[in-house]
Amino acid sequence: MGLLALAGCGGSSSGGNFQQQSSVTITGSPPSAIGVGANWQYTASVSGTTNQLVTWTVSSGGGTIDASSGLYIAPLTIPSPAKVTITATSQANPSQSASTSVTVQGTDPIGTVSAVTTLPSCSGNLQGATCFQMTVSCPGIADITAYLKVNNPNAAPVGTVLFGVGTGGSGLYDDPNAGGFMMGSTVVQNVLTGSFNTVQVSFGAPFDNGTQPNGWLQGPGGVRRLACRYATLADWVYNHPQKINSNPNNTATNSAPMCATANSGGSGAIAYAVFEYGLDPEFAMIEPTSGPPMTRIDQGCSPCNSNVQGPVCAGSMNQANLCYESADAGVIDEAYQSAGTGTPTLCTSALNGNSTPAGLFLSDSILYNGNISLPHTTVKMLFGDLDTSNAVPQGMVWGQSVSPNAAFQCIADAGHPIPDVTDGAMQIASDIQQNCH
């Protein structure tokens, strides 16, 4: 645990039995860098007094910080200077303070991949695959174990496609018995037949015996910071083509063109990767299906009777409310919880009309700044006419904010899991084959 302390001269105070040689300490491991619009919860302790209250301040132009709670939110553009000073001052004795600095940069910092091993066997419906296990480490959050199921075409690969399931990505796209889809294997097989490397991403099932049920969304850290896990893994795939296709005739220096599709919460992971984590240059095309539902978390985690509405498929059964259902709010809650704790329930509490840390949910939203510029990435989005979840309006709000414009299509017989129906599966495969170049 990193500690940063600045001790001052002794003194006395009626604010909490202040003693000699006191000091303020900024606790935890504050980040060295943070993306524009992102957040960090600072904490501090005060020695020599029972009064542990501090007042938080931030250097001019460096964003905002809640004076009482220490929740810092970076500015929407890189400040000058980019290095921002955060200070905690003892309320018991204002002569005592501690400071730390954080550099605000254009995108969130990406993590690292280590301990890459080849598994002795693979799960799922598609045969002939190679499966990998690896550790993903990201700033400010716990490490996580991730898994890749890789199939290679018989011919020279023309690109690489990532596949992800919903919620926290704990499952295999081609395996409906492990969090995947009824027609998931059809999607992957058709893309493989088109001479693409196929890479199914799992943050748990069926490899881990249920030890990571929440996948990449297991907190604490918040949704945006946790999305670093998927972004880091995608970046690793892009930069390790010889691991993804070990054929000696594969002379590629990266996995380009690299494309991706995922449903619901998995589409959120892709959206964070291309924008918040700056991987737009690495993705030639993405196809979010039924999402991303994290477009405006602040609207999702707010009472439905006061909620704004978004666009939906014409003539569909879609609901226009951006607010989450209680089960969806529970998934967002987990992003702020340690595993197995069940608290805090920030989104559920907000959904029920209670107050939440000001600015936190907007900062953690994909659409925190009103527009999504993806100059290198083609975007095609699919939604189901029978989907009554908030994923449709949340996803469409995101798509309408993308520049260049995203293409939309609604599947008449699809509900929330688009790859569960044949025409949804065939449309995904067709879109990737036509646009991943």
CATH of the domain at 208: 3.40.50.1820
Q: Which of 31, 218, 41, 165 lies closest to 111 in space, CA to CA? A: 31
Same domain, 417 and 342: yes
In single-letter form, the type of residue at position 27 comes to T
Same domain, 65 and 140: no
Residue 153 lies in a domain: yes
Q: Which of 376, 361, 367 lies closest to 401 in space, CA to CA? A: 367
What are the structure tokens assigned to 111, written together? 């993590």
Residue 275 lies in a domain: yes
Same domain, 89 and 148: no
Same domain, 91 and 189: no
Domain count, the chain: 2
Same domain, 24 and 144: no
Residue with tokens 């011919």: 155
Same domain, 87 and 120: no
What are the structure tokens assigned to 274, written together? 């291309």
Same domain, 66 and 177: no
pLDDT tens for the 437 residues of the chain, in order = 333 333 333 333 334 444 445 799 999 999 999 999 999 999 999 999 999 999 999 999 999 999 999 999 999 999 999 999 999 999 999 999 999 999 999 999 999 999 999 999 999 999 999 999 999 999 999 999 999 999 999 999 999 999 999 999 999 999 999 999 999 999 999 999 999 999 999 999 999 988 999 999 999 999 999 999 999 999 999 999 999 999 887 878 899 999 999 999 999 999 999 999 999 999 999 999 999 999 999 999 999 987 789 999 999 999 999 999 999 999 999 999 999 999 999 999 999 999 889 999 999 999 999 899 999 999 999 999 999 999 999 999 999 999 999 999 999 999 999 999 999 999 999 999 999 99
Same domain, 174 and 241: yes
pTM of the model: 0.94
Same domain, 129 and 81: no
What are the structure tokens assigned to 83, written together? 């290095």
Among candidate residues 71, 105, 139, the one where a domain is terminated:
105
Residue with tokens 């007042």: 55
The 3-state DSSP composition of the chain as helix, strand, coil percent (nearest 5) reads 25, 25, 50
Domain CATH number, residue 32:
2.60.40.60
Same domain, 257 and 397: yes
Residue 326 lies in a domain: no
Among candidate residues 58, 82, 105, the one where a domain is terminated:
105
> How do beta strands 23-27 and 4-7 pair?
antiparallel
Residue 322 lies in a domain: no
Among candidate residues 105, 136, 160, the one where a domain is terminated:
105
Same domain, 32 and 131: no
Q: Domain limits at 58? A: 4-105
Q: How far apart are the C-alpha atoms of 150 and 128, rounded to whole Å?
A: 9
Q: Which of 360, 227, 346 lies closest to 292 in space, CA to CA? A: 227
Same domain, 137 and 100: no
